[in-house]
């Protein structure tokens, strides 16, 4: 484990669920204050999340952040306040069809939904296959859902930013490994849900890291001046790319293996503790 760095970043990138937002909880005043301290110093603070845009407003309100948000595991960049689309990377129709076909063949109980920039379209059996898991906090009530009657109709949906795959009979990590082997050359395969057999498929080559890197380059910020926080497999590339990656204590094994540093648990305001320490490098974490 590398020693804790002593520096003030030019860019702070943080995942949401399980990182600044406890599962089923809310963003604490301490975490909000820590993020705002950096904003007041002119440091870019960016939410980098697997959430689609429609799930962002409660978190934006709780953090008080404005500016850009990297959403849908890097497939979208949106304005935090208006949700206007700044960038969209969609999965090609051919790749959508191939990925769905490959998972259908590999996992007999697989069911699907697709996220677009505006809504979620749910295929046959997807809602009924929902398994128990930790409920995320700060989710909006009544998100727009469109039920699709056939897989052909689902696959033909345009502007797909994420394909969701459920397989109730699968173990989450085994499903992730199998999914990468089966379709990793067609789509980006990852997961962010805790203890749920749910995969998230994105555009090939698009990750939180790739979009964050482009965001930093546009601002003339070197990766060595970027700090990032995350807790799940969809954070791995980001934690590896940044100059200073912090996995959350208690996070997924892949995230912990990818990051050179470990932040205290989300329930103890781990991100806030680290950010406070950067502003006062000689302070010992409590």
Read off the pLDDT band of 53 (50, 70, 90). Answer: very high
Q: Would residue 100 count as lying in a domain?
A: yes
Q: Which residues of 124-162 are buried (b: 16+ CB within 10 A; e: fewer)?
A: bebeebeeeeeebbbeeeeeeeeebeebeebbebeebbb
For residues 229 and 198, state if they share a domain: no
* pTM for the predicted model, two decimal places: 0.94
Least confident stretch, 22-26, 97-101, 187-191, 213-217: 22-26
In this prediction, residue 270 carries a pLDDT of 97
Q: What confidence tier does 2 reach under pLDDT thresholds 50, 70, 90?
A: low
Q: Flag whether 63 is in a domain.
A: yes
Each residue's pLDDT tens digit, 3-24: 566 778 999 999 999 999 998 8
| pLDDT at position 133 over 60 | no
Domain boundary among 202, 229, 259: 202
285 within some domain: no
Q: Tell whether 192 and 227 lie within a shared domain.
A: no
Where in the sequence is the domain holding 59, given as residue range(s)?
11-88+206-279
Do the beta carbons of residue 58 and residue 140 sit within 8 Å? Answer: yes
112 and 188 assigned to the same domain: yes
- Distance (Å) of CA 98 to CA 47, 121, 145, 183, 199: 31, 18, 24, 8, 16
Residue 1 in this model has a pLDDT that exceeds 60: no
Asked which of 202, 233, 250 is the last residue of a domain, the reply is 202
**Same domain membership, residue 212 and residue 189:** no
User: Does residue 286 form part of some domain?
Assistant: no
CA–CA gap between residue 80 and residue 258 (Å, rounded): 28
d(CA 273, CA 204): 35
């Amino acid at each position: 484990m590398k020693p804790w760095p002593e520096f003030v970043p030019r860019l702070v990138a943080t995942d949401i669920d399980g990182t600044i937002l406890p599962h089923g909880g809310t963003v604490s005043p301490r975490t909000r204050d820590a993020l705002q301290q950096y904003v007041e110093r002119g440091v870019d603070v960016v939410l980098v999340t697997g959430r689609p845009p429609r799930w962002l407003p409660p978190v934006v309100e709780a953090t008080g952040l404005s500016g850009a948000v990297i959403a849908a595991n890097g497939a979208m960049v949106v304005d935090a306040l208006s949700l206007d689309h700044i960038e969209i990377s969609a999965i090609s129709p051919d790749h959508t069809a191939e990925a769905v076909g490959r998972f259908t063949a590999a996992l007999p109980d697989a069911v699907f939904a697709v996220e677009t920039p505006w809504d979620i379209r749910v295929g046959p059996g997807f809602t009924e296959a929902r398994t128990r898991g930790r409920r995320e906090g700060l989710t909006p009530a009544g998100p727009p859902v469109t039920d699709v009657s056939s897989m052909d109709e689902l696959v033909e949906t345009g502007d797909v930013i994420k394909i969701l795959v459920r397989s109730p009979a699968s173990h989450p990590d085994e499903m992730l490994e199998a999914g990468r082997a089966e379709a990793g050359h067609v789509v980006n395969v990852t997961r962010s849900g805790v203890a749920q057999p749910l995969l998230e498929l994105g555009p090939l080559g698009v990750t939180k890291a790739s979009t964050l890197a482009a965001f930093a380059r546009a601002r003339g910020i070197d990766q060595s001046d970027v700090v990032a926080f995350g807790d799940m497999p969809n954070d791995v590339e980001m934690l590896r790319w940044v100059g200073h990656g912090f996995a959350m204590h208690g996070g997924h094994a892949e995230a912990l293996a990818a990051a050179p540093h470990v932040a205290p648990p989300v329930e103890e305001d781990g991100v806030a503790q680290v950010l406070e320490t950067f502003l006062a490098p000689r302070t010992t974490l409590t």
